[in-house]
Amino acid sequence: MLEQYVKDEGGFKYLEKGEGTPLIILHGIMGGLSNFDKVIAHFSKKYRVLMPELPIYTFPLLKTSVKGFSKYLHDFFKFKNINKAILLGNSLGGHVTLYFTNKNPQKVYAMILTGSSGLYEKGMGDSYPQRKNYEYIKKKAQEVFHDPKVATKELVDEVFEIVNNRMKVIRTLALAKSAIRHNMAKDLPHINVPTCLIWGKDDKVTPPDVAYEFEKLLPDADLFWIDKCGHAPMMEHPEQFIKIMDKWLTQRGFNKD
């Protein structure tokens, strides 16, 4: 179990496993460690994998933003004495990756973005209508994936708890508004860092058009598609995701073997 590799120190809760070049993983608004379990298991054999838990529900409200989490990531680099890393981000985590890399290009070897916000994303709505209706929330959670079965009862229960917790909803909406406010379209052409875009062809949150736009605007980006896949390829098709990422890192000279 990956939980044994989780540490809580220096104001950070994070996973650390493996040795070598740092690979830092950033999760989405309602994401967490379990979203990347197979990715972590695979890449920790080659890399020093770190995954900080973004303080979505514990940060001061005014700092609960893409910019605030970019600063948090900068502080995490400093705390772990990391000079340079590969960054992997899904959804909000992808947006934080982009914002951080734009401000600190010298600290990033490469970016892997999957279902990243930063240009456009469709959330659950501005006010979470029918949030007391479990079946409605279940349907919304299932829409994140191509295969609704990926939205397990445990995952739906977690989303239901979040949207029915007033403070968590306020923070989630603050982050959603921050994502819209920090549109990266004008910044992307200046982010000259090797980028691997891995996208689900059936992503309804950040649709395929978003991936094409990222590919067009980023100076050094390669776009890969996964069929019958929604917003979280690393959860829905982990083997394909790992294969694409592994091959790309090898071609770009970041893999040791």
Contacts of 157 (CB under 8 A, 6+ apart): none
Domain annotation for the chain: domains and CATH numbers: 2-120+183-251 (3.40.50.1820)
Does residue 111 have a pLDDT over 70? yes
What is the mean predicted confidence (pLDDT) over 110-115? Answer: 97
> For the whole model, what pTM was predicted?
0.93
Model pLDDT for residues 231-241, shown as the tens digit of each residue: 999 999 999 99
Model pLDDT for residues 39-52, shown as the tens digit of each residue: 999 999 999 999 99
Q: State how far the Cα of 5 lies from the Cα of 181, in Å rounded to an integer.
A: 35
Does residue 248 have a pLDDT over 50? yes
Confidence of residue 22 (pLDDT cuts 50, 70, 90): very high
When mean pLDDT is compared across 141-145, 184-188, 247-251, the lowest value belongs to 141-145
- According to DSSP H, which parts of the chain are helical? 37-43, 66-79, 92-103, 134-142, 153-163, 166-181, 208-217, 233-236, 238-251
Structure-token pair, residue 89: 């981000």
In single-letter form, the type of residue at position 53 comes to: E
- According to DSSP H, which parts of 111-152 are helical? 134-142
Mapped onto helix, strand or coil, the DSSP state of residue 127 is coil
Does residue 125 have a pLDDT over 50? no
What is the mean predicted confidence (pLDDT) over 168-183? Answer: 88
Structure-token pair, residue 145: 């994936």
* Number of Cα atoms under 13 Å in the Cβ half of residue 55: 20
